[in-house]
Structure 1
């Protein structure tokens, strides 16, 4: 049976010296209404979020997710989250998940109610989808033009391309388009022909013994799972790097994956109808690592 837990947060200032923030949390019934009709997260997508994988009751990569939440808040001119408060909320949510199995914790920080005095914040945890098929059999992807060139983030920082915002309509439209084309997922590319990222995942390619991902510019959301994997690969003696990757190089890779916090490593089997090799053994090893407890 699917499970879910939710709590609202009264956001504390980033320099609040308290060590116990339990009085700022309000547990709510996730099946009942909880947001005002004036809430800007639902009216305009004006807010930020993070999705944290939970494995056997353990929240994965909490520190990197909180760092990225703070980075997104800065880009969006939102109040800086109090890391200790959010960490305590994550611990409470993780404690409500089963001791076995996978889940996902979502952190949401919104600008709040229109003309209101303060942001709105909440945390949910729920059972994750079964991603076994994607991890073992792989996924087919298509490339989709993101609609801007590689220099756009520097010219127009107000596009918030490096922030994880609630405005995910384009990302969801890209997934629907991918499915209309007979694929499982998409990879965004710049209008000048460079690989960016997937709508909800990072792209990692292997060429020989070197693992690469697109250079983390303002156009790409730096993936917490990708960062963790690169640390692991370095420790295993592999060469890793950030590069400018032309679209044509996707089908030249010896193996490729989409990486995300919940689906983990999904091997790419096909790009725009062209088959690429799948390293099943390496993929299984990567996912064993990603399923191990990671802080």
Structure 2
């Protein structure tokens, strides 16, 4: 697989990584995941704006970069033209306030649009301003997903320190009660471009919902790769 790293197109298996840099030692950096639909990367401008905004928030330099051209080249180099692919764009923390750009493009098979996800409640809590940004140190989400899979579920609902629903390990959450769409109010959850678009097209109320009340609602999950799918609690 060909990736873009350190201003070059490289075979991912032969890329040299400096193990002393913060992105290797501590998982320091930011990332975005977007869908290449066989023709274009959906909502790429929004993804790059969010990535750069988070990088600036953490004090890293953001410089001009031709993301579309590099992504298109990677699509071609990896033989993915006309196919669905997962695009990851990362700002990797270097020393000081410097950050390098890493981009990968991998084959992606979309979930069936009628798939109903089975959810569990992840009992561990991570309620922090860091949750507002897609940091490379993704441990809480990885462990929540691992927990869900161990129980035979597709994903896990994450809650804040008071037990209010935030999101899942992979997706934003919208609850439906009768004709009312409800999204979590807390700021301590990952910003979601798909949720933003959903809110632009629908009347959505921002409201706290406790995990103990989740059975009263229909559940919708959404992210940039799968779009919107229904879910149920197990």
With the length of structure 2 as denominator, give the TM-score of the two structures: 0.88
Match in the other structure for 1:121:
101
Pairing 1:258–2:228 present? no
1:75–1:200 distance in 2 versus 1, CA, 3 Å: farther
How far off is 1:170 after superposition? 1.8
Contact 2:110-2:225 within 8 A present in 1 as well? no
Give the number of the structure whose alpha-carbon radius of gyration is greater.
1
Equivalent positions of 1:28-43 (< 5 A) are 28-43=10-25
Q: CA deviation at 1:95?
A: 5.2
Structure 1 residues without counterparts, runs of 5 or longer:
10-24, 274-295
SS of equivalent residue, structure 1 residue 136: coil
1:230 aligns with 2:199: yes
**Separation of aligned partners in 1, 2:83 and 2:72:** 17
What is the CA deviation profile of residues 117-161 of structure 1, one whole-angstrom value per residue up to 9, with x for unaligned ones? 8422211111014422xx32311101123425xxx64xxx4xx22
**In the alignment, is residue 147 of structure 1 matched against residue 145 of structure 2?**
no
TM-score (norm 1): 0.71
Does 2:44 align with 1:26? no
Contact 1:58 1:94 in 2 (8 A): no
- Paired residue for 2:141? 171
Query: In 2, Cα distance between the equivalents of 1:116 and 1:243?
Result: 39
Query: What is the match of residue 210 of structure 1?
Result: 180
- Where do residues 47-86 of structure 1 align in structure 2 (5 Å cutoff)? 47-82=29-64, 84-86=65-67
1:216-247 superposed Cα distances (whole Å, 9 cap, x missing partner): 51x1111011112232x33xxxx223222222
Q: Distance in 1 between matches of 2:153 and 2:86?
A: 25
- Are the counterparts in 2 of residues 70 and 81 from structure 1 also a CA contact under 8 Å? no
More helix per residue: 1
Separation in structure 2 between the aligned mates of residue 220 and residue 91 of structure 1, nearest angstrom: 31
Gaps of 5+ in 2: none
Q: Distance in 2 between matches of 1:5 and 1:194?
A: 42
**1:108 — aligned with what?**
90
Corresponding residue of 1:240: 204
CA RMSD of aligned residues (A): 2.3
SS in 1 for 2:230: strand
TM-superposition CA deviations, 1:62-116 (whole Å, max 9, x none): 121112102221232221353x53344334445556343311111111112xx57
